[in-house]
């Protein structure tokens, strides 16, 4: 029986293990936290990602390795490749960990991206703001996610505060300034590429965020076919350039009918959770198929789907479970402000039915503000 090793033991690893069970797979998780939620479904090695003893034990017990979040040190992934196959390859991980390397790759592949500049000093920050213009955003090149590690500069008066907030990290993790995009929509394409280069993708998804954290995802996004094909072409271009194996997500802004790349996620992605019930093959099982080198599954959608993210604490499951297309996912985490603790997926055969379902669930859970933009997009 094949054992898949997963670096990282969060909800993505947990859902990966659940998706792999029908394939007869076993799993081993490496995480620094003994109570990582994936450990409820798979045995664990508890240790730091840089601990070679923990990594060696992990490698000795698995047939292939992958990861569930992009902040696993690329050096650790590279160390593992000398002992066990690791997918995606460490280079993809390294590129996604550095916003400057990521944006540079987008530009090299002719994937449109907002103006950006690397900075290492206050003087360079002043110069970058003057060149890129206002508003703009200062971000750490590494370790930022879900809105963390960034500061929005709306006027020249904000530059001091931005440097005070992030300037101390200029030397340790590096900083980058990006133009602020007054986008009309946030979109993402989730795709999978096999060991043999086979490429498949799910339909373009529209996303809504609150305080930098994903709140809701709608699939398929209500866009024209040309925009969908452009997004898929960008994802394919990235997969081929990185010799990628597994699932990746490309986050995009849509402005004036044009797509601009925001971020690359070299893993299964929050905006693809709807695929569990909303497509023939989920992103989690297709990631495992790719990593193992077995045939990829169909990414065909089953109707229309909306994923609602639960942040901080789980609401009452009843209003979702009473719906014919309602599906509930509790990650088994303790409640905590800002923490992703679960999600629900609502699936319907028509946009009209999905909008009606969202309306009922929103009222019952007092989440009208969360579902309102999705309902508007469906009309």
Domain of 137: which CATH number?
A: 3.30.1490.20
Say whether both 213 and 162 belong to one domain: no
**Contacts of residue 225, Cβ cutoff 8 Å, sequence gap at least 6:** none
Say whether both 229 and 354 belong to one domain: yes
CA 51, CA 47: separation in Å to the nearest integer? 7
pLDDT digits (tens, 9 = 90+) for 253-273: 999 999 999 999 999 999 999
Say whether both 263 and 341 belong to one domain: yes
- The domain that contains 243 carries what CATH number? 3.30.470.20
For the record, the structure tokens of 139 come out as 């971000």
The structural domain count of the chain equals 3
Say whether both 152 and 192 belong to one domain: no
Say whether both 286 and 334 belong to one domain: yes
Say whether both 327 and 189 belong to one domain: yes
Say whether both 271 and 228 belong to one domain: yes
Say whether both 225 and 297 belong to one domain: yes
| Cβ-contact 217, 370 below 8 angstroms | no
pLDDT score of 171 more than 80: no
Residue 57 covered by a domain: yes
pLDDT score of 167 more than 90: no
pLDDT score of 222 more than 60: yes
pLDDT digits (tens, 9 = 90+) for 94-133: 999 999 999 999 999 999 999 999 999 999 999 999 999 9
| Cβ-contact 119, 176 below 8 angstroms | yes
Please state the rounded mean pLDDT for residues 12-31: 98
Residue 93 covered by a domain: no
Question: Looking at 67, 86, 105, which one is the last position of a domain?
Answer: 86
Please state the rounded mean pLDDT for residues 138-147: 76
CA 246, CA 77: separation in Å to the nearest integer? 15
Say whether both 156 and 8 belong to one domain: no
pLDDT band at 183 (very low <50, low <70, confident <90, very high): very high
pLDDT score of 147 more than 90: no
pLDDT band at 146 (very low <50, low <70, confident <90, very high): low
pLDDT digits (tens, 9 = 90+) for 282-316: 999 999 999 999 999 999 999 999 999 999 999 99
Say whether both 196 and 291 belong to one domain: yes
Q: Which residue range(s) make up the domain with 326?
A: 185-378
């Amino acid at each position: 029986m094949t054992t898949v090793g997963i670096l990282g033991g969060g909800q993505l690893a947990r859902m990966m293990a659940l998706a792999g069970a029908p394939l007869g797979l076993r799993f081993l998780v490496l995480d620094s936290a003994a109570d990582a939620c994936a450990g409820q479904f798979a045995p664990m090695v508890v240790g730091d990602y840089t601990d070679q003893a923990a990594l060696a034990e992990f490698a000795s017990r698995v047939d292939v390795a992958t990861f569930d979040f992009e902040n696993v040190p690329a050096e650790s992934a590279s160390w593992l490749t000398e002992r066990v196959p690791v997918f995606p390859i460490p280079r993809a991980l390294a590129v996604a960990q550095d916003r400057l390397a990521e944006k540079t790759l987008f530009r090299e592949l002719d994937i449109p991206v907002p103006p950006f500049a690397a900075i290492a000093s206050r003087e360079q920050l002043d110069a970058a703001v003057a060149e890129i213009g206002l508003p703009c955003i200062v971000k750490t090149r590494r370790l930022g996610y879900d809105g963390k590690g960034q500061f929005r500069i709306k006027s020249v008066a904000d530059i001091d505060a931005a440097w005070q907030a992030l300037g101390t990290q200029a030397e340790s993790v590096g900083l980058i300034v990006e133009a602020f995009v007054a986008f009309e929509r946030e979109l993402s394409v989730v795709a999978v590429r096999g060991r043999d280069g086979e490429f498949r993708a799910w339909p373009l998804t529209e996303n809504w965020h609150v305080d930098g954290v994903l709140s809701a995802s709608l699939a398929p996004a209500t866009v024209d076919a040309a925009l969908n094909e452009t997004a898929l072409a960008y994802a394919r271009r990235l997969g081929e350039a990185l010799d990628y194996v597994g699932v990746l997500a490309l986050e995009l802004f849509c402005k004036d009918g044009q797509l601009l790349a925001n971020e690359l996620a070299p893993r299964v992605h929050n905006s693809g959770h709807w695929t569990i019930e909303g497509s023939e093959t989920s992103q989690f099982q297709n990631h495992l198929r790719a990593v193992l080198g077995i045939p990829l599954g169909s990414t065909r959608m089953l109707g229309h789907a909306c994923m609602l993210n639960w942040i901080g604490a789980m609401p009452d499951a009843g209003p979702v479970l009473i719906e014919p297309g309602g599906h509930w996912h509790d990650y088994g985490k303790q409640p905590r402000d800002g923490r992703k603790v679960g999600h629900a997926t609502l699936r319907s055969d028509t946009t009209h039915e999905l909008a009606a379902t969202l309306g009922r669930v929103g009222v019952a859970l007092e989440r009208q503000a969360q579902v309102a933009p999705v309902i508007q997009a469906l009309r």
